[in-house]
Amino acid sequence: MIRREAEYFFAALRFFTRLPAPAWVGHSAEQLNHAARYFPLVGVIVGGIGAGVTLATAQVWPIGIAVLLGMVATLLATGAFHEDGLADSVDGFGGGWTREDVLRIMKDSRIGSYGAIGIGVALLTKYESLAALGGVPSRLTLVIIAGHSVSRFASTTLIYALDYARDDDSSKSKPLATRLGKGELALAALFGLAPCLLLPVGQATIALVAVVFVSLAAARYFIKRIGGYTGDCLGATQQLTEIAFYLGLLCARS
């Protein structure tokens, strides 16, 4: 059982990041079908990479530079996987009028003006939020880790609650489970929410409320436009809820 769960975890790590996985893990459809439960744990790892780079570089350069380098580290670790999903989603929903148009535009590997603007605004908002939160670098590292884990749990809830919108096999996220069980969701919640326990309760609560609000709004919008979610929608939700988490913390501090 431990080996099987390890295979599921490394399958998630390999799918969602560019980090190496042991050769003994292999490849199988079963692994990918159960990998989503470890999506938030992968977020802890990616957030840890960004937090570590931020903390280390903050010893040498101003916090703004440290935050920027930490963000670059997470982009390298994931290959901008979720940012790409955000860009495709913004292109699709911005340029498509019908459900078929939206799904067709999302499949296009080229980035359009909507997607470029979406990525730019998202990265700038994330940077400004983290820089504003960066009074104490060691505390900021906890915020970064929690932001990455919580936002990935928010994406995981869409897999549990919504239907998969595509009828074809062309989506890059199709190999993932298109539905989660309650036990898998509970495990994802454990990994996704545990880092929040390291933050002040009041601040974390307000930040989580912001995440819930954005998640519900995104889910409702996806259902209205395309009848469910796609892999790109999961990436967009991760990006938007991560930003919502940081903005919620800023509101709690003001």
pLDDT grade for 31, boundaries at 50, 70 and 90:
confident
Mean pLDDT across the stretch 74-88?
Answer: 97
Q: Rounded distance, CA 109 to CA 88, Å?
A: 8
The DSSP call for residue 18 is S
The pLDDT of residue 167 is 75
Mean pLDDT across the stretch 85-102?
Answer: 96
Which residues, other chains included, contact 54 with Cβ-Cβ below 8 Å and sequence gap of 6+? Answer: 66, 67, 69, 70, 130, 134, 137, 140, 141, 144
* Residue 153 CA, distance from chain mean position: 8
pLDDT grade for 34, boundaries at 50, 70 and 90:
confident
Mean pLDDT across the stretch 4-27?
Answer: 89
The pLDDT of residue 67 is 98
Concatenate the DSSP letters of all residues of 199-213 into one string: S-HHHHHHHHHHHHH
Mean pLDDT across the stretch 187-199?
Answer: 97
Q: Choose among 144, 191, 145, 174: nearest CA to 234.
A: 174
Mean pLDDT across the stretch 240-244?
Answer: 98
The count of domains in the chain is 1
The pLDDT of residue 202 is 96
59-66 contacts, C-beta under 8 A, 24 or more apart: 59/137, 63/131, 63/134, 63/135, 63/137, 63/140, 64/131, 64/134, 66/134, 66/137
The pLDDT of residue 176 is 58
Average pLDDT, the chain: 92
Q: Is the pLDDT confidence value at 26 over 70?
A: yes
Could you tell me the residue range of the domain that residue 190 belongs to? 2-253
Whose tokens are 């915020």? That residue is 143
Q: Is the pLDDT confidence value at 178 over 80?
A: no
pLDDT grade for 25, boundaries at 50, 70 and 90:
confident
pLDDT grade for 166, boundaries at 50, 70 and 90:
confident
